[in-house]
Amino acid sequence: MTLQPGLIDSHCHLADKSFNGDREAVISRAASCGVHRIVAVGGGGPIEASEASAELAAANPSLRATAGIHPHDAGNYSDEIETRLRALLARPEVSAVGETGLDYYYDNSPRPAQREALARHLALAAEFRKPVVLHCRDAETDLREVLETERPGGLSGVVHCFTGSYEQAAHCIELGLLISFTGILTFKNAGDLRETARRLPLDRLMVETDSPYLAPQPYRGKRNEPAYVCEVAKVLAELRGVSIETVAEITSANAESLFFS
Ligand SMILES: [Zn+2]
Ligand SMILES: [Zn+2]
């Protein structure tokens, strides 16, 4: 299936080593089924992951990169890392800050360090006038508090891989953020999340793979890749009672203006 106007995978860890053997093939497989643009996020590992994402985006006009330190690694945030983030954020192909945020499910970094790193990323986003890619797991109340303290006027960006409640999503939208869904939307046990996706304003939504993680049905358990974002869009279209082309048009317009304009 090839879609017109095409889908954008708004969040993919394309620099991840699991793509080292076939990255070009992965990008062309996505393009051949209508996924014509991909956001190669940084933040899935050390600062080098963001630097590698920027190199990929510099070499391919259908890609954009983001630069940040994942909440899992927030304990390692330092002035030296911030200097390297600044150098990345000055580059035109690096269109957003992140992923940053709070992950209280894994707690891989101490929570105060996660909140501090998030605040520093929000300051960088304001300074460079770039949107922010937020990751939040089991930390919605604290995320809200940090956002309201650091950016009381609201902000531009996305809460990616959204898994919270309808009310939490609605509040993020009030702050100016978009909500993005992954393959979790296709999982059998995600009924509550599907109900949230059905009710939110479609014009504030995006779709993503978060690949190589979280492969949607029917690929669950395998390595995920950008081509599979179609499965997320398909479920969203069914939930909303609209065509997949409509979902593609609206979610791609959002991703386009956030990352590619
Ligand atoms: Zn994430
Ligand atoms: Zn991610």
Structure tokens at 239: 């939930």
Is 1 inside a domain boundary? no
Residue 50 Cα to ligand 1 midpoint, Å, equals: 14
pLDDT at 228 exceeding the cut of 80: yes
Instruction: Please give the distance, rounded to the nearest whole angstrom, from the Cα atom of residue 71 to the centre of ligand 1.
Output: 9
For residue 14, the ligand closest to its alpha carbon is 2
| Residue scoring higher pLDDT (3 or 54) | 54
Enter the tokens of residue 56: 């990929």
Q: Give a yes or no: residue 143 inside a domain.
A: yes
Query: 107-141: b or e for each residue (b if 16 or more CB lie within 10 Å)?
Result: eebeeeebbbbbbbbbebbeebebbbbbbbbebbe
- The reported pLDDT for the residue numbered 3 is 64
Asked whether the beta carbons of 71 and 42 are under 8 A apart, the reply is no
Domain assignment of residue 100, given as a range: 7-260
Which residues are found with C-beta within 5 Å of the ion, ligand 1? 99, 135
Q: Is residue 41 part of a domain?
A: yes
| Domain total in the chain | 1
In the reported structure, the alpha carbon of residue 246 is separated from the centroid of ligand 2 by a whole-number distance in angstroms of 25
Residue 109 within any structural domain of the chain: yes
Where residue 109 sits, what CATH number does that domain have?
Answer: 3.20.20.140
State the Cα–Cα distance between residues 13 and 213, nearest whole angstrom: 9
Is 2 part of any domain?
Answer: no
Give the integer Cα–Cα distance in Å for 167 and 100.
22
- With CA atoms as reference, report the closest residue to 68 among 54, 58, 59: 54
Residue 251 forms part of a structural domain? yes
Q: Could you read off the pLDDT of 150-178 as tens digits, one per residue?
A: 999 999 999 999 999 999 999 999 999 99
Q: Could you tell me the pLDDT band of residue 45, with boundaries at 50, 70 and 90?
A: confident
In a domain, 134, yes or no: yes
50 CA distance to ligand 2 middle (Å): 12
Task: Report the separation in Å between the CA atom of 22 and the middle of ligand 2, taken as the mean of its atom positions.
Answer: 20
